[in-house]
Structure 1
Amino acid sequence: MKIKFLTKKMFRRRPSEFISVQTDNFLRKLKSRPFFTEYISNVFMKNVKPNITDKSLTLSVLTDSHEKAVASASYYGLNGVRHIIEANEASDKLPVDYNIHLGDMIDGSDKPEISRGLLQFTMENYQKSIHPFFVLEGNHDENDKYDEHKFVNSASFGRDDYYNIVTKADFEQPEIKRLNSVSKVAWIDKGDIRVIFLNTSDIPYILNGGTKKYDFKKVRGIREQQLDDLISILEKTVDKHVVVFGHANLISPAGRSALNFNGDLVQQIFTSFNNKDIGELKNELSGDFGVDLHFNFTDTGISKISNYICGHMHYEKYFKVAGINHIILNCSALMGKQHGLTTDYNKKWDRRYNEISELAGYFININPDKMLLQIFGYGAATRFVSFEI
């Protein structure tokens, strides 16, 4: 059943965006379900905690929650919001280092005021949690799905809407590092471990007659400035175990770009870094996605990029290209088996509301003592898989 919200004329003003009063009031009534928080905690205590050491880094990871203002018991809806509330509440009582969301927090198909309200409410939940957090941008998070479906003549999200609600909160935390105030590449460190976050929705916000030149939902890419920042960070990464996270998969198992723009160039940076190369990074494009850069990875010691982890595809998959594991995690959003867009992977789980299969989340432990990246899934997720670092 659809939840009714007030019209735009009835909004109250918040510091950076308009949010429906009724949307806000309804969301604040959402509470965690003890069964689910206890289940998540028990998974951690039984499977994850025995593998934690002083040197290891442990992350609570969700992706593709696809929040919508719909009380759905079989598909995308407010269950995505509740899953985040429950995962963060469980993590508050656990020795987790960071709470991570890999993007597509919202489905981006609601009215803009409602989508902004969902983003704001969810970010407040991350900000109130005990652990530091990082939320990546997904291709749904700019609300372009709404624009597509409604055939509107103007972009429903402004240029800075997502930044003001989500990205700004990410970088207000001292634990989250970046090269400068405009860089889209972030990283965190713990001992010999470095985790880097890339924005695979690095698409220019350009309006042509009020509509966007690029549909953020359909176009995924990484531009030259982000690649330059990644190179700069890696050139100064010495004797580190490096793991990279993004929203969308960079390349296919055959090594071809899985992004519309420059996914293969990111893979080239990864392999050049591992090989301690000096060289040039260049494509045949010009304009918005043209690239012409140089790198020198000769002074990085024993550093190695071992794994790239993402969501986006709504299934699980693992493959290796040029010595680097590419790991795709399942969506946290409920995907009932009767829906047309539900992937075969999720149909096999037969995911159901108020059952364990409703959820899909992960604890990821990077352990330099064991030289392993260990992934512990719960709900509609593989229970355990490990990769070398």
Structure 2
Amino acid sequence: MNIKNFVKKVLRPKPSALISAQTDSLMRRLKPRRFVTDYITDVYNNNVRPNVSDNTVTLSVLTDTHAKAVASASYYGINGIRHIIEANSAVDDLDIDLNVHLGDLIDGSDKPEISRGLLRFAVENYQNNEKPFYIAEGNHDENDKYDEHKFVSSASFNRDDYDNLVTKFDFQQSKILRLNPVSKVSWFDKGDVRIIFLNTSDIPYILNNGSKKYDVKKVRGIREQQISDLITILEDTVDKHVVVFGHANLISPSGRSALNFNGDLIQQLFVSFNNKDRGQIKNELTGDFGVNLRYDFSSTGISKVSNYICGHMHYEKYYNVSGINHIILNCSALMGKKHGLTTDYNKKWDRKYNEISELAGYFVNIDPDKLRLQIFGYGAATRYVSFEI
């Protein structure tokens, strides 16, 4: 039975346990394509390896794979999972310090049991790789797109589904650190480099008559507890080159918040950290997203936040606001040019199934000696760009 027919069988109405088992079976039939893994390996060997050293930090980065249990040859589908399998297979033998997925691992539009199966399989694939990994939460990863499209009266994911399927496995690794068992901020250190991960889908799970108060797909934000944890981490960051990652862009090129809640506050904290300031950060909100905190960055030495890197927008863009580079990476999911939601950026790539343009990924290298951050793209991505750190 081919994949397309198998997927059709999976999507027929069946008991949840059977659907989950068949989804897992489908995923395990997927194998990396040799031409893809060879291509990614060649990009690393020819472009990345000659430009990095042992004292640098190198990450393999995917974002927005939007995996779905459909066999689409022109848009979101099983190809999203295959891109993860292939990238992980290629980097297993490469000199990579950290394997990163910046969120929207799934499209979140499948039945909940299928979406859980997709998340479970993807995490297992990262676990089977020898490299440490970090998977950030995206706005599609709570399956709210399914709720939105099906007009269901109750949330399809339970409060802890995503955390139990994904987040807890991030923190089972000794190299991925956080302040406490519930903190949504994490970090990874190597030498003079500190990488911090933020959760831009830090949205409270509140039910009103079974339905969610906040649609995580549509609402992006960072709450006070996460900002408090970030302040603590930054206050203890001494003489480090800091690069921050998250799923969604924090601010626009004009400096306005690009999150529904508090993206501009994070930018203010970064600027205050770079200026070694003491002070207070607050907004005019109360309730779920109110913030009123104090900070003291006067004893952080030469530490500086230089770059914030994210996905979410399904295109590439770079802009500098108050000395901090904001870098948006293209989606790893296939986006054919004839689909209505395909961005103009991806239409120009004319992405096609079974061609190199089908995928998009990056190697990100942070060099504390040369004070630069290098991004090497492959597939539907810019081949090279660099920034100061």
Q: Which residue of 2 is the match for residue 233 of structure 1?
A: 233
Q: How does 1:172-251 map to 2 (within 5 A)?
A: 172-251=172-251
Task: Name the aligned partner's letter for residue 266 of structure 1.
Answer: I
TM-score normalized by the length of structure 2:
0.97
Change in 2 beyond 3 A, CA 1:117/1:35: same
CA distance in 2, matches of 1:8, 1:208: 29
CA distance in 1, matches of 2:44, 2:140: 30
Secondary structure at 1:49 match in 2: helix
Q: How does 1:297-376 map to 2 (within 5 A)?
A: 297-376=297-376
Deviations 1:68-107 (A, max 9, x none): 0000000000001000000000000100111100000000
CA distance in 2, matches of 1:106, 1:184: 20
Structure 2 residue 9 is the aligned partner of structure 1 residue 4:
yes
Deviations 1:299-331 (A, max 9, x none): 000000000000000000000000000000000
CA distance in 1, matches of 2:311, 2:267: 17
Deviation (angstroms), 1:26:
1.0
- Contact preservation (8 Å) 1:7, 1:20: no
Task: Name the aligned partner's letter for residue 8 of structure 2.
Answer: I
Secondary structure at 1:155 match in 2: coil
Deviation (angstroms), 1:4:
2.4
CA distance in 2, matches of 1:355, 1:31: 16
CA distance in 2, matches of 1:188, 1:181: 16
Identity of matched residues, %: 74
Structure 2 residue 156 is the aligned partner of structure 1 residue 150:
no
CA distance in 1, matches of 2:23, 2:367: 42
Deviation (angstroms), 1:9:
2.6
Secondary structure at 1:11 match in 2: helix
Secondary structure at 1:325 match in 2: strand
CA distance in 2, matches of 1:4, 1:315: 34
Q: How does 1:1-389 map to 2 (within 5 A)?
A: 3-5=8-10, 7=13, 9=15, 11=17, 20-389=20-389
Deviations 1:37-70 (A, max 9, x none): 0000000000101122121000000000000000
Deviations 1:101-159 (A, max 9, x none): 00000000000000000000010000000100000000000000000000000000000
Task: Name the aligned partner's letter for residue 17 of structure 2.
Answer: F
Task: Name the aligned partner's letter for residue 326 of structure 1.
Answer: H
CA distance in 1, matches of 2:98, 2:272: 29
Gaps of 5+ in 2: none
- Contact preservation (8 Å) 2:247, 2:310: yes
Secondary structure at 1:363 match in 2: strand
Moved more, 305-314 or 48-57: 48-57
CA distance in 1, matches of 2:101, 2:310: 10
- Contact preservation (8 Å) 2:16, 2:113: no
Deviations 1:202-261 (A, max 9, x none): 000000000000000000000000000000000000000000000000000000000000
- Contact preservation (8 Å) 1:199, 1:246: yes
Task: Name the aligned partner's letter for residue 370 of structure 1.
Answer: K
Cα RMSD, aligned residues only: 0.9
CA distance in 1, matches of 2:303, 2:47: 28
CA distance in 1, matches of 2:142, 2:27: 20
Deviation (angstroms), 1:8:
5.4
Secondary structure at 2:168 match in 1: helix
- Contact preservation (8 Å) 2:310, 2:329: yes
- Contact preservation (8 Å) 1:8, 1:20: no
CA distance in 2, matches of 1:28, 1:176: 27
TM-score normalized by the length of structure 1:
0.97
Q: Which residue of 2 is the match for residue 16 of structure 1?
A: none
Change in 2 beyond 3 A, CA 1:43/1:285: same
Task: Name the aligned partner's letter for residue 147 of structure 2.
Answer: D
Gaps of 5+ in 1: 13-18
- Contact preservation (8 Å) 2:279, 2:296: yes
Secondary structure at 2:8 match in 1: coil
CA distance in 1, matches of 2:202, 2:192: 28
CA distance in 1, matches of 2:148, 2:181: 32
